A = this chain, B = another copy of it.
Amino acid sequence: MTILLTHGDREYLRDPGEELQTDLGVLTVPEDVEPGDTLFTHLDEEFTVRRLRGPDLFHHFERTGAPMLPRDIGLVVGETGVSAGDRVLDAGTGTGVLAGYLGRIGADVVTFERKADFAEVARENIEMADVADRVDVRTGDITEEVDELGEFDVLTLDTPDAAEVVAHTPELLADGGSLGVYAPFVESARDVEMAAREANLDNIRTMETIQREMDFDDRGTRPTTTGVGHTGYLTFARNV
């Protein structure tokens, strides 16, 4: 289990047994380290041991592209209702933040990444998130294996060819199972929605999410003037 060593604003990722060398001195993480422990360097500087939480995955995972934001991961979880014990099929692993979150929720995840080097990074990230036993990162193209994958409770997609996979949703999802697709462009979102209609899924809807941070200061309250940008469209549907 990778842990965070924190000192003020500083955060370092280390596994048990590893060493931390900084200007604050050197320390070795004990094999039996526990979140909440306090460790000291040879210069007697104090570090606190913290367990990685979801948002830490987003910040500390090695990136192979723009990872899905915690907000969009949350919307996928909320709308599909992923729960512990669910079987989830995911494609477009990328950095692996969505798969890591789903594993931490207790779901059993099979996730496909086409690029072997990206898949390798994702595997290391998943290891760091301590959910390697729940998240199986497979190198390959999900569209080529659709027939042998079996049945899942939830299908999550973040790939350019998502619409093609959506066409197979009825075979891939258990009765009552949910689909969640992330698409960056209007055109790809439209293709996904149309594929979902074609596949006779139920409760199909494509949402756009605009978030704005509020600015509270002494003069008053308003949304931040800088704005919060678009991330992507999310299409949801159920197999009922």
- Could you tell me if A190 and B216 are in contact, using CB atoms closer than 8 angstroms? yes
A70 cross-chain contacts in B, Cβ below 8 A: 78-79, 81
Q: Give Cα A35–Cα B173 distance, bound, in whole angstroms.
A: 13
Residues of B within 8 A of A71 (CB): 75, 78-79
This protein's copies in its complex: 4
- Is there contact, CB below 8 Å, between A56 and B81? yes
User: Contacts A213-B207, A225-B230: A84 and B105 contacting too (C-beta < 8 A)?
Assistant: yes
Closest B residue to A85 using CB positions: B106
Assuming the contacts A54-B80, A77-B74, A81-B56, asked whether A230 and B222 have C-beta atoms less than 8 A apart, the reply is: yes
| A25 beta carbon closer than 8 Å to chain B | no
Q: Mark A139-177, 1 if CB is under 8 A from B, else 0.
A: 000000000000001000000000000000000001111
Query: Chain B nearest CB: distance from A61 CB in Å?
Result: 13
Contacts A56-B81, A213-B207, A230-B212; is A6 near B105 (CB within 8 Å)? no
B residues in contact with A51, CB < 8 Å: 176
Whether A55 is near chain B, meaning CB under 8 Å from some CB there, is yes
Residue from the list B77, B78, B220, B230 in contact with A224, Cβ < 8 A: B230
- CA A240 – CA B211 in complex, angstroms? 24
A214 at the B interface (CB under 8 A): yes
The bracket for how many chain A residues form the interface is 35 or more
Is A113 interfacial (CB-CB < 8 Å)? no
Interface flag for A16 (CB, 8 Å): no
A83 and B74 CA atoms in complex are apart in Å by 12
Residue contact A229 to B229, C-beta cutoff 8 Å: no
CA distance A178 to B74 in the complex (A): 15
| 17 further interface pairs, Cβ-Cβ under 8 Å (given A35-B176, A83-B106) | A6-B176, A50-B176, A55-B79, A71-B79, A72-B78, A74-B74, A74-B78, A81-B104, A82-B105, A83-B104, A84-B104, A188-B220, A189-B214, A194-B216, A206-B213, A210-B211, A225-B230
